[in-house]
A and B are shown apart, each in its own frame.
Chain A
Amino acid sequence: MAEVLLEVKDLRKYFPIRRGVMQRTVGHVKAVDGITFDLMQGETLGVVGESGCGKSTMGRSILRLLEPTSGSVVFEGQNVVGLSRSKMQTMRREMQIVFQDPYASLNPRFSIRQTLMEPMIVHHLYTPKQRMERVGSLLDRVGLDPDYGARYPHEFSGGQRQRIGIARALALNPKLIILDEPVAALDVSVQSQVLNLLEDLQEEFNLTYIFVAHDLSVVRHISDRVLVMYLGKMAEQAETEELFSQPLHPYTRALMSAVPVPDPDIKRERVILQGDLPSPANPPSGCTFHTRCPMAMDICKQQIPEWKEAKPQHLVACHLYNE
């Protein structure tokens, strides 16, 4: 693997809960609570977890679409957190995002051409004529007819819109793209097309992806490494094959056993979690997973498990792996 592109260290995003006339802060929703990982150039990191575990918030905090509460995001040696507005603007050329909902992510009043030109205009790139050409080649690259530029978003289907969203992210030639559940809102047949497109683009432009999803089979297909999140914290992180063949954390095991296998003869041990995701405003003590963990021990209620390497390149936060 090449050099490190992105280092996220102890990233936290707390949303204050305000109450009363004076809007006093009475607590925090700990949406992202101490996330640390490195990302290599050209790598794809899959981020999985239940709805509401802070996956998307993490992605948006890295891009500073949400201001992180604390922690650092070092992109090519420069800490993005705390950068001035103008420096951040330059930085934004390097990192882009593709959103989940293709119906909400395109401005209904911009034609496709305007949407795709917008990043180039904002950054004063190219001449107007070059921009037109670039819009055409971007559309072509994501598998759309270059003549679609004059049309408006409502004239396209979900899959086509998602391709436009990807083209917009590519417009600035970024190095890192955060894919925030890019295929969750699409039909299964269209999903695979978009995934293939993403893989082709990664190879062609040497892109680095953070792929946020809750669909494990999709993550397994596209990721080099997977990070499992639970209630804003990291549960487990390993190479994709390692994680899928030997999940360590009980939560990961439960997730894995929920993936349907298209063969009725295979008998599997299913781990079914009881109860809902606890509130991130008032997380359980010790290991936040102990309330639902089938293997919970006494220590889990009192002590927060350490984040450490249980096997080479396989990190986990669980008391089961303390020798």
Chain B
Amino acid sequence: MSVAQPGVDEVFTPHEKTFGEKLWKSMKEFPLVYFGGLIIVLLLLVAIFAPLLYTMDPNTGNINTGLTAQGLPVPPNHEYILGTDSMGRDIYSRVIEGSRISLTVGVFSTLMTLVIGTCVGLISGYFGGWVDTIMMRITDMILAFPFFLFSLALIAIIGQGLWTVLFALGVTSWGVMARVCRGLVLQLKEFEYVQAERAVGASRWRIMFRVILPNTFGPIIVLATLQVGFAMLAEAGLSYLGIGIAPPMASWGNMIQDGMQTYQYAPWTLWAPGLALFIAVLGFNLMGDGLRDIFDPHNTTHG
């Protein structure tokens, strides 16, 4: 064995790129992620500043100007940019107002899924054995249960409303998240850095939440982003069926339902909320799919 000086091995200094350079490179590479992100940011701004964007109150019908002499919705004009609905309410203001409901439901129900899903996945994967078996059978049940039926039953029990919808979505859609998380944990817990943490004497909870959990974030964030889009659609679906957000409150779902009754002679009542829903969900899906590409280790072109 030759004697070598310790401490003088390879010095490792990669070429540092500026943040701007990196951002531009990644924007060129994954344009859809940034497009999706842009949609999401715009949506957030609209939802936050909704009251400033109204041209009139979204929930009151305008009896004088909002309906024609025959009592029909008014088509888009200079006063009502996107026309009015069957009650003479301004559709533009209602679409703006609906973004708040959609985002609230989408984000909060996803947060709920995230908390339940990752906890179930972590505990199930880390402890294994009968804990794993029981938790995964429960997950199977959740995954096998028709979501709309479950929500219907839940709403019948605790009554209609924003929080009911939120809760119904949260407790029914964590199955996939738990599965993905468990899979990641099973893989990560055999990693040497997790073993090293055990050798150091860290408690099981510390290993689970401080070491393993942060390393599952990549795939979990992708899933959560896609889940937001799904939850927004589900909320619209429930509202469309009349069991989601109750009418005077504006939600894209119940606006579409309202529009269905008049679309033959006033199709604009359907277009505006439909398009809004389409763009919002598209934004989240683009972002989610794009993030999946970025996190994919086989995609070696980035970095």
Per the 8 Å Cβ criterion, residues 105-124 of A in contact with B are 105-109, 118-119, 122-123
Closest chain A residue to B6, Cβ basis: A143
A221: Cβ under 8 A from any B Cβ? yes
B6 x A197 contact (CB < 8 A): yes
How far, in angstroms, from A195 to B7 measured CA to CA in the complex? 13
- From B4, B193, B195, B198, contact of A192 by CB (8 A): B4
How far, in angstroms, from A221 to B214 measured CA to CA in the complex? 41
- Segment touching B, from A10-18, A93-101, A298-306: A93-101
A214: Cβ under 8 A from any B Cβ? no
A89 x B4 contact (CB < 8 A): no
Per the 8 Å Cβ criterion, residues 53-95 of A in contact with B are 60, 63, 65, 88-90, 92-93
B192 x A104 contact (CB < 8 A): yes
A92 x B199 contact (CB < 8 A): yes
Smallest CB separation, B210 vs chain A (Å): 9
A168: Cβ under 8 A from any B Cβ? yes
Using A65-B198, A89-B201, A190-B9 as known contacts, say yes or no to A106 and B4 having CB atoms under 8 A apart: no
Smallest CB separation, A192 vs chain B (Å): 5
Which residue among B196, B197, B215 has the maximum number of chain A CB atoms within 10 Å of its CB? B196
A130: Cβ under 8 A from any B Cβ? no
A108 x B215 contact (CB < 8 A): yes
- From A108, A122, A165, A221, contact of B201 by CB (8 A): A122
Closest chain A residue to B217, Cβ basis: A109
Per the 8 Å Cβ criterion, residues 181-203 of B in contact with A are 191-193, 195-203
- From A63, A104, A118, A190, contact of B191 by CB (8 A): A104
B196 x A97 contact (CB < 8 A): yes
B2: Cβ under 8 A from any A Cβ? yes
- From A99, A143, A160, contact of B195 by CB (8 A): A99
Per the 8 Å Cβ criterion, residues 148-182 of B in contact with A are none
- From A142, A157, A189, contact of B12 by CB (8 A): A157
How far, in angstroms, from A65 to B12 measured CA to CA in the complex? 33
A189 x B192 contact (CB < 8 A): no
B192 x A105 contact (CB < 8 A): yes
How far, in angstroms, from A157 to B197 measured CA to CA in the complex? 21
A144: Cβ under 8 A from any B Cβ? yes
Closest chain A residue to B202, Cβ basis: A122
A109 x B214 contact (CB < 8 A): yes
Closest chain B residue to A91, Cβ basis: B201
Q: What 0/1 pattern do residues 169 to 210 of A give for CB contact below 8 A with B?
A: 000100000000000000001101101110010000000000
B10: Cβ under 8 A from any A Cβ? yes
B3: Cβ under 8 A from any A Cβ? yes
The residues of A that contact B5 with a CB separation of less than 8 Å are: 193
B22: Cβ under 8 A from any A Cβ? no
Smallest CB separation, B69 vs chain A (Å): 67
How far, in angstroms, from A66 to B12 measured CA to CA in the complex? 36
B193 x A118 contact (CB < 8 A): no
Using A97-B196, A99-B192, A108-B215 as known contacts, say yes or no to A192 and B1 having CB atoms under 8 A apart: yes
Smallest CB separation, B247 vs chain A (Å): 47
A159: Cβ under 8 A from any B Cβ? yes
The residues of B that contact A196 with a CB separation of less than 8 Å are: 1, 3-4, 6
Using A192-B4, A193-B9 as known contacts, say yes or no to A122 and B206 having CB atoms under 8 A apart: yes
A155: Cβ under 8 A from any B Cβ? yes
The residues of B that contact A89 with a CB separation of less than 8 Å are: 201, 203
The residues of A that contact B12 with a CB separation of less than 8 Å are: 155-157, 160
Closest chain A residue to B5, Cβ basis: A193
Per the 8 Å Cβ criterion, residues 1-58 of B in contact with A are 1-7, 9-10, 12, 14
How far, in angstroms, from A101 to B197 measured CA to CA in the complex? 15
B119: Cβ under 8 A from any A Cβ? no
The residues of A that contact B201 with a CB separation of less than 8 Å are: 88-90, 92-93, 119, 122-123
The residues of A that contact B199 with a CB separation of less than 8 Å are: 63, 65, 92, 96-97
Smallest CB separation, A294 vs chain B (Å): 31
List the 10 shortest-distance A-B pairs measured between CB atoms, nearest first.
A143-B7, A92-B201, A143-B6, A105-B192, A99-B192, A89-B201, A119-B200, A104-B192, A107-B193, A157-B10
A selection of 27 A-B contacts at a CB cut-off of 8 Å is A89-B201, A89-B203, A97-B195, A97-B196, A97-B199, A99-B195, A104-B191, A105-B192, A105-B193, A106-B193, A107-B197, A107-B215, A109-B214, A109-B215, A142-B6, A143-B7, A144-B7, A156-B12, A157-B10, A157-B12, A160-B10, A160-B12, A168-B196, A192-B3, A196-B3, A200-B6, A221-B1
Question: Given A109-B215, A192-B3, A221-B1, 17 more contacts at CB 8 Å?
Answer: A65-B198, A89-B201, A96-B200, A97-B199, A107-B211, A107-B215, A108-B215, A118-B200, A118-B202, A143-B7, A157-B10, A160-B10, A165-B196, A168-B196, A190-B9, A192-B1, A196-B6
